[in-house]
Structure 1
Amino acid sequence: MSEGLRPGDPVRLGGYELLGRLGEGGMGSVFLARSPQGRRVAVKVVRAELSHHDEFRGRFRSEVNRARQVPSFCTAEVLDADPDHDPPYLVVEYVDGPSLVQVIREKGPMTAAGVHGIAVGVATALTAIHGAGVIHRDLKPANVLVAPGGIKVIDFGIARAFEATSQHTRTNQMVGTVAYMAPERFETASGQRTGPAADIFAWGAVVAFAATGHTPFEGESATATAMRIMTQPPDLTGLDGPLRELVSRALEKDPADRPTARELLDGLLTAAHPAGESAGRTSGPGAPAGAGAKPAALPGTGGGSGTGGGSGTTGGGSGTTGGGSDGTDQTGPAGSGADTKRRRRLIGLAAGAAVTAVLVPAAMFGPDLVRDRSGSTPTGSPGAGTPSAAAATGGPTTGGTPSATPTSRAPGGSPSAAADRTRAMLAGQRRLLLHVVEIDRDLSLPFDGTLTVGDGTGRDALFVLEPVGVDYMIRSVNPDIAHRPCLGVKLDAEGYASLVGAECEPTGATVFGISREGKDDKGRTSYSIINEKYGLVQWDDTEKEIYVQEMGDAPIDTTFSLVDRGAA
């Protein structure tokens, strides 16, 4: 529910007519608005004093661009933004539904099925958010909406820009809600950056709240709560079964001991379906809509704080994960912000564990396999968060590769040859060049297994995508390296991550997501290549080499076009 506008509130921003207030917080106010097309939207207006910071505007623009890459299933879609307006504002999808905190306040702890639905919905949202290189930073029940169409996570818009420029985040003050903040958020003296694992901790606290009606480290004051978070085990009384074990793992003190969002989903969706009631006082809402639908492969994907609130939405930050080599982790030292190639802190489980295809309800996905949001059909692969060709067509998969050749039609209904080629590439049926847009060169994997760039004329520059769920192993067709033909992430003794030839086994080191970014100079759709565990594939112009950089600090500097080179 929204309240009316207050004296001094704007009545229009850009082309948006403001109708009422939805909430407010440290970064600004959120308004219910009407778009020029008549659609109801939520507009987050940044505090006036921040608009005078050039640094904030730059960071705000960067974070908005990254937030636009977050798939909109289980999250509020970012629709528009104007970093140059005075004040800056962000426009997101309006979700008409109560927040989780309102549901618990009015009805008490949820049923076991309802808690499981919250756990799956929020974990799915975090998978998409982290896969776009975003960290939420203020995940809490007020930012989880129980909408008619399913769970929606909101308010992942501008926290990182705010933290970096606001005096209110200094002297032991920071963006976030204490009861849902990970222990590392309080250890400011260590200089450790907030990573995706902090969102995983918040996920555990949110799920515990949904099941029990209280937070797992509840204290008499914010200080007492913070001390319990840092020193005491969580109180999970009332939470039982496999879900209790997952929540307990998510609430580990050491971020390296927590699962990733994708691992949470794997555990949630392979565990027995919840039965019976929780220890709650009353029956709460059930699982999100579509929970009983036919499953489809989940995208393999790796933030912000704000005003939260009732039935309205606001809407990234940046993410960071850590990694190993050829299926085996090698721990390196934590990095410094001045490094060109960021050192990696290992987060999550060992990369040697096989990656499994995670299943989520097919209803969570739209028809965006090879289309952008405008309905046009690009000539490359899908962005992070889109289903594999098999998932889109309903076809079965064997060993992660679709068994049926997918087909497509352009928006007008006529067959699209470009889309068919794209789908064939995604199904592993076409050879392709990985064209590095920024330097107009192509990736190559010669006989020695060291990745290079070249002119694309040799057989060592030809690759095939091999689907693993909706992610991919990237296999060279060069016969000289048949023993190690797939791209994999390797850490050196100093913790720097590079790409090398590896065995074609689906591990945390060899599975990559592909996220749509824009167009190259020839009009072809270009993409970033992201390893969920280690980060972005980037080009180092100084060292003249390809490396892998954590997603937490730098923008996406390197993109790739997938250039079709015939049947595989």
Structure 2
Amino acid sequence: MKSPLRPADPPSLGGYRLLARLGEGGMGSVFLGRRDDGPLVAIKMIKPEYAHDEEFRGRFRSEVKRAWQVPPFCTAAVLDADPEHRTPYLVVEYVDGPSLDEVVDREGPLADSRLHGVAVGVATALTAIHGAGVIHRDLKPQNVLFALGTPKVIDFGIARPLEVTSRHTRPDQMVGTVAYMAPERFDGDDREITPAADVFAWGAVIAYAGTGRTPFRADSPVATAAKILTQPPDLTGLTGPLAELVALALSKEPEDRPTAPELLNLLLAQNTGSGGIGGPLREAAEAARLATRPERPRRRRRWAVAAAVTAVATALTAAVGLYSRPTEKVVVKPPETLTTMPVPGAIRGAWVVDPLDRPGQWKATTDAYGGVCSFKNGLAMSTPSSAMVCPGPAASFAGDQMISADVAVDDTRSCAEIQFRNAGPGSYWLDLCPRTIRIRHEGAVRATTLGSADQPRFGPGQRRHVVLSLRDEVATVTVDGDVELEQKLTDPSLAAGRVAFGVGPADEAKDQDVRAGAVIRRAEIRPIEAAPAAPPPLTFTDVRTGSTKSIVKVRGYNPKARSVIVEPVLFLTGDEYCQTFNLASTSDNPCEQAWVTEDSRMAVTLPTAATPELTSTFDDPERCAADPVTVGTCRITPGQLAERLGTEGLVELTTRNGTVTTMAEVYTP
């Protein structure tokens, strides 16, 4: 709710003209503002007492940096910030709509599809927030706003003082933030707060939305906290699967709660009948679900019910693939294949490079119908049946992206296939056949050809360089640099998904008893990013060519296949990091850390020498680690090193002409 500026309020802040007050909280005031003729924005100005607290300012600085990375899936987008200003401030998208508590106060508890939509929207926002490494920490109905009927979560992830009281006086509101705090929040400094606390808050928010009261309602903040710690929630008025999910989210122990992505999957699995969602909310939910990196498995005690519901999610969301709209042909010139390494901070999404000359990010497999994926002069695929797929990385690729590879088919009866934006019941396919190039959409019930070009570009055994670029929902295919096909994509639910390669028979051979075959080499999947405005201070080491020595993360080491999957990183002292990226030194930022890594998000499969030199710190860093960087010096077997590194280990990697010759484990205490 807007109110006039007060006499002591500044007329402007950081170039933004302040127009009205939107609210005030424990951390500062929120204003409606605008810069020049730009859109209206919400500006949070930190209170002076916190602006002079260096520890708070340091937290604000580091958390603003992470908040920038939160994609705007049911969240208010972060637009600007200045942690160094005399009164630090944050600028976010202005959501012109009522808050959830205002809607419930005015209209009463929500029900059916409206309640389910709020549950999906808030879970979508948490999936996006947690995927960027941010914890909201103050999710409550006042922080859920409605814009054109779609819920958006605001005020996430920014350092704030702990508030356990409220000025509200009504019995169901007087406890304020306490009513949505997880039990572990009351343990003081002895327990780490994790994203599971936000999932608990989600359960309390949805219970409030569906019943008009908080699930641990009591007459005082202290009594409410005691109920949260010791009593089951009161969910009277909630029914069906949503009530079960809310109860699960309100589990006392963090490890018993689903993660935000798991929660979103379960909600989408319930999305049938009158509880269906569509339009922008469906698109945002699918994009957030598929664009989030999988979390490491966590030990659970009571998560079996969630696993059972997840098992039916694919069947319940099968209708996703049925949406279509008229095709619009748009010509877009695709980018060329990558020739340089990324720069720090430039990549927002997965990036894969694999020569496909050995098992790496693609594996050798066989299927039940006699299809084979093997490695001979590339990823060799063959099948006697209608089609087969050789699965690739588990990562989901979203937004504008490029897929490139060298492709050859065995004969005139075979087609190579690239599956992209594979999101379970729906996906797209690029068919590369001797006489036809075709893009098709495959849903749960039917497959539809979106566009094709009849060009004899794939003769038997002829290797062609294929680039598939996806920009602004237009797929553009080039073969050896020539644009062959442009096609508007038609399914808004497929905003992201996995990529795989496959093979199948050409149209004229589908009824014949033939074995189709194709070979794919030099695969690369990467985001299409705008060029940086200024030359970067540092770039990652290009481990694919020449002779190099650098620190990398090992994503997988297969000694038998003589291959290793690595992610180049920057490995700097805290001082070097802050000098490079012009960060001021505080007690709560990387400047004070011994070592800092900056990830490239680029997974590269490299060959290893027949007998690479392998060393480790073992469990005795004093004896087996060299200074000044603690790199292992004690010899270790390939199998032992693979087990120690797993998918997150750091090594000092030495290459010669793109082949790994040494790997030394890096010890980071």
Q: TM-score, normalised by structure 2?
A: 0.52
1:388 aligns with 2:413: no
Cα distance change, pair 412–205 in 1 and its aligned pair in 2 (3 A): closer
Q: Which of structures 1 and 2 has the larger relative contact order (alpha carbons within 8 angstroms, sep 6+)?
A: 1
- 1:403-431 Cα distance to aligned partner (Å, 9 max, x none): 524433589999998xx9xx999735654
Equivalent-residue separation in structure 1 for 2:152 and 2:664 (angstroms): 42
Partner of 1:72 in structure 2? 72
Partner of 1:487 in structure 2? none
Letter matched to residue 123 of structure 1: A
1:301 aligns with 2:292: yes
- 1:420-470 Cα distance to aligned partner (Å, 9 max, x none): 9xx9997356546999669845556544489xxxxxxx853579xxxxxxx
- Is the Cα–Cα contact under 8 Å of residues 422 and 497 in structure 2 kept in the other structure? no
1:109 aligns with 2:118: no
Partner of 1:427 in structure 2? 499
Equivalent-residue separation in structure 2 for 1:6 and 1:176 (angstroms): 25
Matched ranges for 1:254-293 at <5 A: 254-271=253-270, 273=272, 275=274, 290-291=280-281
- 1:353-409 Cα distance to aligned partner (Å, 9 max, x none): 79989879899xxxxxx99xxxxxx8986438x973699999673879965244335
Letter matched to residue 408 of structure 1: L
- 1:329-371 Cα distance to aligned partner (Å, 9 max, x none): 6x7xxxxxxxxxxxxxx79959x979989879899xxxxxx99
Equivalent-residue separation in structure 1 for 2:602 and 2:101 (angstroms): 41
**2:280 aligned counterpart, secondary structure:** coil
1:192 aligns with 2:191: yes
- 1:286-315 Cα distance to aligned partner (Å, 9 max, x none): 96853567984523538xxxxxxxxxxxxx
Stretches of structure 1 lacking an aligned partner (at least 5 in a row): 169-174, 277-285, 303-320, 332-345, 364-369, 372-377, 451-457, 464-471, 482-491, 493-498, 503-508, 511-536, 550-568
Q: Which has the larger radius of gyration?
A: 2
Match of 1:407 among 456, 469, 478: 469
Cα distance change, pair 402–388 in 1 and its aligned pair in 2 (3 A): farther
- Is the Cα–Cα contact under 8 Å of residues 235 and 243 in structure 2 kept in the other structure? yes
Partner of 2:47 in structure 1? 47
Equivalent-residue separation in structure 1 for 2:496 and 2:224 (angstroms): 53
- 1:31-84 Cα distance to aligned partner (Å, 9 max, x none): 000123421000000000111122222221110010000001200001011111
Letter matched to residue 7 of structure 1: P
**2:113 aligned counterpart, secondary structure:** helix
1:460 aligns with 2:564: yes
Equivalent-residue separation in structure 2 for 1:86 and 1:235 (angstroms): 46
Q: Percent identity?
A: 48
- Is the Cα–Cα contact under 8 Å of residues 179 and 218 in structure 1 kept in the other structure? yes
Equivalent-residue separation in structure 2 for 1:353 and 1:501 (angstroms): 30
Cα distance change, pair 87–288 in 1 and its aligned pair in 2 (3 A): farther
Letter matched to residue 267 of structure 2: L
- 1:116-167 Cα distance to aligned partner (Å, 9 max, x none): 000000000000000101000000000001110611000014236x46xx99
- Is the Cα–Cα contact under 8 Å of residues 425 and 431 in structure 1 kept in the other structure? no
Partner of 1:313 in structure 2? none
Equivalent-residue separation in structure 1 for 2:277 and 2:105 (angstroms): 18
Equivalent-residue separation in structure 1 for 2:473 and 2:213 (angstroms): 48
1:21 aligns with 2:30: no
Equivalent-residue separation in structure 2 for 1:134 and 1:294 (angstroms): 18
For residue 27 of structure 1, report the CA deviation from its aligned partner. 0.2
Cα distance change, pair 149–208 in 1 and its aligned pair in 2 (3 A): closer
For residue 228 of structure 1, report the CA deviation from its aligned partner. 0.7
- Is the Cα–Cα contact under 8 Å of residues 43 and 92 in structure 1 kept in the other structure? yes
Stretches of structure 2 lacking an aligned partner (at least 5 in a row): 166-174, 324-333, 336-341, 351-394, 403-418, 431-467, 486-494, 502-521, 527-538, 543-548, 568-600, 611-618, 620-639, 653-662
Q: TM-score, normalised by structure 1?
A: 0.60
Partner of 2:658 in structure 1? none
For residue 195 of structure 1, report the CA deviation from its aligned partner. 0.7
- Is the Cα–Cα contact under 8 Å of residues 290 and 361 in structure 1 kept in the other structure? no
For residue 193 of structure 1, report the CA deviation from its aligned partner. 1.3
Equivalent-residue separation in structure 2 for 1:167 and 1:275 (angstroms): 38
User: Greater strand share, 1 or 2?
Assistant: 2
Equivalent-residue separation in structure 1 for 2:195 and 2:496 (angstroms): 33
- 1:468-496 Cα distance to aligned partner (Å, 9 max, x none): xxxx9979586999xxxxxxxxxx9xxxx
Partner of 1:3 in structure 2? 3
Aligned length: 413
- Is the Cα–Cα contact under 8 Å of residues 216 and 227 in structure 2 kept in the other structure? yes
Partner of 2:339 in structure 1? none
- 1:89-124 Cα distance to aligned partner (Å, 9 max, x none): 000000001000000000001121111000000000
